[in-house]
Structure 1
Amino acid sequence: MKTPPIVSPEEWHAAREQLLVREKEVARARDALAAERRRMPWLAVDKEYWFEGPAGRVSLAGLFEGRRQLIVYRAFYGPEVTTYAEGGSYPERACVGCSLGADQVAHPGHLHARNTSLAFVSRAPQDEIRRLKERHGWNHIPWYTITDDFDRDFDVDEWHGTNAFFREGDRVFRTYFINNRGDEQMGNTWNYLDITALGRQETWEDSPADYPQTPPYQWWNYHDVHDAAK
């Protein structure tokens, strides 16, 4: 392995400052892209979709759990999961990539504080999902069983992907979709919020007029404090 040159502290800090200029450009571009997402048109969801959850049958609207926004990740866990060389197969294991993604999911309590719910959905029955969550320490992730054409209708029947939805009264709208390498960044609270229609809902963001916003830092809290406030 050919390593980079070894330099003095002064040279190292100079190189760091030079790279920081580019990093800030990327951060500003990322913020601008999120602002464009908040201005994307919405797609009305006029078809009903149903899932099985730990407490029984629930609709797509029910996955919101009373909140305005919903993020749904389609995780491949079910008979369609093939055997991996060293990891096993269904029902012992889910897709290795989806499992890596699940390991990165932050506590949903922080999303709840921004009026946003998170759900994973798969083809496996609830008994298997419950055992999988316990095995891997994923009990903080709400995880439902797909029972109809949801995966096909929302572009996640053949590959993983994350859909964002918005609820206005009884109406549900699809507001964004990201998949392929775009899913690599999912799991972090900020990246989840950046794909939603309302964003992080902080005053520094470039959002359409009248979108809900509060000062940064003021809403940040421990996840159990967020959940206790529900």
Structure 2
Amino acid sequence: MPTTKHPLPQVVSPEEWEAALNRLLIKEKEHTRARDALSAERRKLPMVKMEKPYVFQGDEGSVSFRDLFAGQRQLIVYHFMFAPDWKAGCDGCSWVADAMTHPAHLHARDTSLVMVSRAPLEKINQYKTRMGWTIPWYSSYGSDFNEDVGATTEEGERHGASVFLRDGNDIYRTYFTGARGVEYLGSHWTYLDLTPFGRQETWEDSPEGWPQTKPYVWNRRHDEYDG
């Protein structure tokens, strides 16, 4: 049976392991409560009204910004990096999309989740079919939406998530996160964080000799891994 070539943490008795685990769980509970407090602060953020009548392209044709809510009061938009001249969508954004939940769970709490990209709808649907996704995905091609919300800048495409609240016909933007903030949406990172090797990236504080590579060089689209 194969064994790891990397040095292992200290091997202890079941009693010592449980004691060490319980000490860690106390810290994890403190982290959970701190995250809850941060979420409460997020819910109290001021909002900004969205004034422009954006039009998007979806499988049902041209739709309004309000249509993206699909009858719900809250909307989460994942800004998927996919420029009009790209052959495929962003591999990192594809990680996030792979982890997205069944919409019924969000709809039960008056919330919709969609993805929006600048690529034309034809390209989006080709890539969506390749990846096997059923997530609602709209094209903002030809509109100012991406630029207005900071998802496209002079430097290029930017991934992230925006949250919107609908009050009658009025729509308000309540939150945005980008960069590593989107890890909160992707359970793959969460799962890896539970393992001894972690994400296996050089920025992590891991035992000497643990397997590590530079960030962003190892992950692939799910149909591109060798073997």
Do they superpose with TM above 0.5? yes
Q: Is 1:60 aligned to 2:55, yes or no?
A: no
Q: Distance in 1 between matches of 2:173 and 2:29?
A: 31
Q: Distance in 2 between matches of 1:106 and 1:80?
A: 29
Q: After alignment, is 44-53 or 126-135 more displaced?
A: 126-135
Partner of 2:97 in structure 1?
102
- Specify the code of the residue in structure 2 equivalent to 1:112: H
Q: Is 1:72 aligned to 2:77, yes or no?
A: yes
- Specify the code of the residue in structure 2 equivalent to 1:155: G
Contact 1:155 1:161 in 2 (8 A): no
Contact 1:106 1:187 in 2 (8 A): no
Q: Is 1:27 aligned to 2:22, yes or no?
A: no
Count of residue correspondences: 178
- Residue aligned with 1:101, SS: helix
Partner of 1:12 in structure 2?
17
Partner of 2:115 in structure 1?
120
Contact 2:74 2:163 in 1 (8 A): yes
Instruction: Give the gaps of 5 or more residues in structure 1.
Output: 82-89, 189-230
- Residue aligned with 1:114, SS: coil
Q: Distance in 1 between matches of 2:132 and 2:39?
A: 31
- Specify the code of the residue in structure 2 equivalent to 1:34: S
- Specify the code of the residue in structure 1 equivalent to 2:140: I
Partner of 2:172 in structure 1?
173
Q: Distance in 1 between matches of 2:65 and 2:186?
A: 21
Match 1:44 to one of 46, 49, 71: 49
Q: Distance in 2 between matches of 1:2 and 1:187?
A: 29
Contact 2:50 2:173 in 1 (8 A): yes
- Residue aligned with 1:58, SS: strand
Instruction: Give the gaps of 5 or more residues in structure 2.
Output: 1-5, 188-227
Shift of 1:173: 0.2
Partner of 1:143 in structure 2?
137
Shift of 1:77: 2.0
Partner of 2:208 in structure 1?
none
**C-alpha offsets along residues 110-168 of structure 1, whole Å, 9 cap, x if unaligned?**
101101011101122222222222211211x0000013111111111131010000000
Structure with higher Rg: it is 2
What's the % identity of the aligned pairs?
50
Q: Give TM-score, length-normalised by structure 2.
A: 0.75
Q: Distance in 2 between matches of 1:31 and 1:53?
A: 35
Shift of 1:182: 0.4
Q: Distance in 1 between matches of 2:53 and 2:35?
A: 34
- Specify the code of the residue in structure 2 equivalent to 1:100: W
Q: Distance in 1 between matches of 2:40 and 2:116?
A: 27
Q: Distance in 1 between matches of 2:22 and 2:148?
A: 47
Q: Give TM-score, length-normalised by structure 1.
A: 0.74
Contact 2:84 2:120 in 1 (8 A): no
